[in-house]
Amino acid sequence: MLSSLKMATNPLKNMMGSKVYHHGKMSAAAMSSFQATQGKTITCKAAVAWAAKTPLDVTDIQVAPPAAGEVRFKVIANALCHTDIYTLDGLDPEGLFPCVLGHEATGIVESVGEGVSSVKVGDPIIPCYTPECQKHDCIFCQSPKTNLCPSIRNTQGKGVMPDGTTRLSKDGKPIYHFMGCSTFAEYAVISEMSAAKINPGADMNTMCLLGCGVSTGWGAVFNNCKVEPNSSTVVFGIGALGLAVIQAAKASGARKIVAVDINSDKFELARKLGATDCVNPMECEGGSATSWLMSQEKWGYDYTFDCTGNVAVMRQALEIAHRGWGESCVIGVAAAGKEISTRPFQLVTGRNWKGTAFGGWKSRTEVPQLVQTVMRGEMDISPFITHTFSGLENVNKSIEALHGGDCLRAVVHIADSPLEPTKLPTLKGNVRCEGGYMKQLSHWSDSCNCEMTFSVFLPDPPSRTGPLPPVLYFLSGLTCTDENARTKAQFAQEAARVGMAVVFPDTSPRGVDIEGQDESYDFGSGAGFYVNATTEKWSKNYQMYDYITKELPQLISNLFPVDGDRVSISGHSMGGHGALVAHLKNPGTYTSVSAFSPICNPTESPWGQKAFTGYLGSVDAGKEYDATELMKSYTGPKPAILIDQGTADGFLEKELLPGKLSAAAAENGYPCEVRMQPLYDHSYYFISTFMREHIDHHARAHGLRPKSNI
């Protein structure tokens, strides 16, 4: 759904990544404060709704420790949703009082109950009102068709935890939970099934929006309707929900997106987010936009969305859907007792009526992916935050703002986050490519002390419930950037076919002020040699070894839909050297290794000697980055190495020296296949010829294809 947000046609599906995060750790003081409350009841502030249609009462309540399978967390920020007001106004048939409202929030895990394994103390989370048990025998969690896991639905609707009791009270009087969340409080308790662990570098004060409305609008487009490119859409109701639908429809490539609302002041933002046309029914004849809408599309619209909760509008949305195949999605929540109706003829003639809950997102699996998509810059949620308030005591002011008519989302900052937000990368490119997306991003590198650029290919996932793809890192050679291999190596078709992500780092720092960095093709810019420089002139920036083995993999795992524990590496020339060295210096890290025309024994190569002398101070110091020298003493796991080398390569005898590595591997008993390819040179024509076989080599190592018996 979020690679550019869709599975196959859902650009959002490629957004998620590994949940093993290594940055954004909490301070010792923050962890100590959580340790002090383990197993104890916490007295804290909460905004209690004692009855319908009354202001919230900010008062002290007691929050009991989490029971088995539960999570207690410190609430950081809460966005006010119309569903909260809907319940407070007494319109919700499941509304129970007294209760603590709030469900669109972020928080930090303070303690966990027995048996909880998916989150731990200190983890950042988004509580989700639609749980996901993830059990293998749950037909709802295992189905790609729905997110409606019923595991705790019965008790959640009764305002209690799965054991039938509440964790909230005021001086001994029980207080009901709301939507399984109750986040208008300093602390809350939820089921583990509702805790979506997110990137600790995320901005907790904005990501709360992904707990309900914005996610719901996106998902209605990407998951429930699967809006296709060049389709026509109409969105009724241009609040936060409707704007999210418009934003997603644009991302899906819809050609016509009509925004319908009785408040014309909303149209400016609607157009900015993607609306092609805007219409106010109150300015149309008879107070209805139907005639105008049908005058624009003779047979109706491919997709229509109701975001109003008005059953009359729901019918209107259905009846302007395209004859034969139009789909109309109900998103807005109607008042208690309301029913929808239409003539059966509307359905007989091919229109489809459907609805969505939380946009169809599987909460624990896919909400972290939504966070990653926002962090990568592929979807912008900042336009939705129109009002901010500091402190829970101002929650009633946020309600007033929402009633004011010009508020999309009011965010209440309840507590300071103990996690520092990460400086986010800049999305430079995001294009469709061979059944996936090719993305280019730049980011600040702490290793290299400068802005670095990389590209990543993300294949479309075969299903919503399948495993995340493994990652192949491809290191390029002298003079290259991240763009050479991605545009010339012809890797994408096979990578998409097997389901493998491919990352292309740059070959050196760029834009730094080092005298002489651009004077030669084989040293300095474009020639970082994948070492950690130690000489004074180069050591501040040229830390390429740490960058490609530590910093970049961490960034990829945290921000992309990949399995950061299943990693392979390859490269060409200088990049082949880097790939071999990265593997040999990090036993067990890489599942598979390959190289094209690698510099195999750089301490004996003029290229290597120049690089090691300049970056490390001596050729002898370069033995630490020499694959042949490292192979001699290597004792770790021995995944087979595949090397292709052209016999017509002009650098073969003087610079590359594959025979030296082959001999060292044979002496060590390491399986290293060096294939001498007749008449091939050092160019990308050579690489592209054999790239498919290298992708296959890595795919088989990861179990994406059966391993060869040969």
Which SS3 state, helix, strand or coil, does residue 689 take? Answer: helix
Residue 99 known to be catalytic: no
| Nearest one of 389, 374, 414, 19 to 209, comparing CA atoms | 374
Residue 138 known to be catalytic: yes
Q: Considering the candidates 37, 138, 451, 479, report the single residue annotated as catalytic.
A: 138
Core vs surface per residue 366-394: b (16+ CB within 10 A) or e: bbbbbbbbbbbbbbebebbbbbbbeebeb
Write the DSSP assignment of 176-245 as a string of letters: B-STTT--SBSEEEEEGGGEEE--TTS-HHHHGGGGTHHHHHHHIIIIII-PPTT-EEEEE--SHHHHHH
Residue 103 known to be catalytic: yes
User: Positive or negative, the Cα torsion across 318, 320, 321, 322?
Assistant: positive
Residue 212 known to be catalytic: yes
Beta strand segments in 80-177, E? 99-100, 105-112, 124-127, 168-170, 173-175
Helix axes 552-559 and 363-375, enclosed angle (nearest 10)? 120
Helices and strands counted in the chain (H then E): 23, 27
Q: Which two tokens stand for residue 636?
A: 């770790």
Residue 255 known to be catalytic: no
Angle at 387 between CA 384 and CA 393, to 5 degrees: 135
| Nearest one of 256, 182, 221, 242 to 384, comparing CA atoms | 242
Residue 128 known to be catalytic: no
Residue 433 known to be catalytic: no
Return the number of other C-beta atoms located less than 10 Å from residue 550's C-beta: 15
Cβ-count burial of 573 within 10 angstroms (0-12 exposed, 13-18 middle, 19+ buried)? buried
Write the DSSP assignment of 582-650 as a string of letters: HHHHSTTT-SEEEEES----GGGSHHHHHHHHHHHSSTGGGGGG-HHHHHHH--S--PPEEEEEETT-T
Residue 83 known to be catalytic: yes
Q: What's the CA gap between 223 and 230, in Å, rounded?
A: 17
Q: Considering the candidates 99, 133, 278, 600, report the single residue annotated as catalytic.
A: 133
Identify the DSSP state of 99: E
Which SS3 state, helix, strand or coil, does residue 109 take? Answer: strand
Residue 82 known to be catalytic: yes
| Nearest one of 111, 105, 156 to 131, comparing CA atoms | 156
Q: Considering the candidates 44, 70, 72, 83, report the single residue annotated as catalytic.
A: 83
Core vs surface per residue 505-532: b (16+ CB within 10 A) or e: bbbbbbebeeeebeeeebbbbbbbbbbb
In this structure, the strands spanning 567-571 and 471-475 are parallel
Q: What is the 3-state secondary structure (H, E, C) of 310-336?
A: CHHHHHHHHHCECCCCCEEEECCCCCC
Which SS3 state, helix, strand or coil, does residue 270 take? Answer: helix
Q: What's the CA gap between 258 and 253, in Å, rounded?
A: 14
Residue 409 known to be catalytic: yes
Per the CB < 8 A criterion, the answer to whether 54 and 39 are in contact is no
User: Positive or negative, the Cα torsion across 205, 207, 211, 214?
Assistant: positive
Q: Considering the candidates 128, 141, 278, 600, report the single residue annotated as catalytic.
A: 141
Just list the catalytic residues: 81-83, 103-104, 133, 138, 141, 149, 153, 212, 409
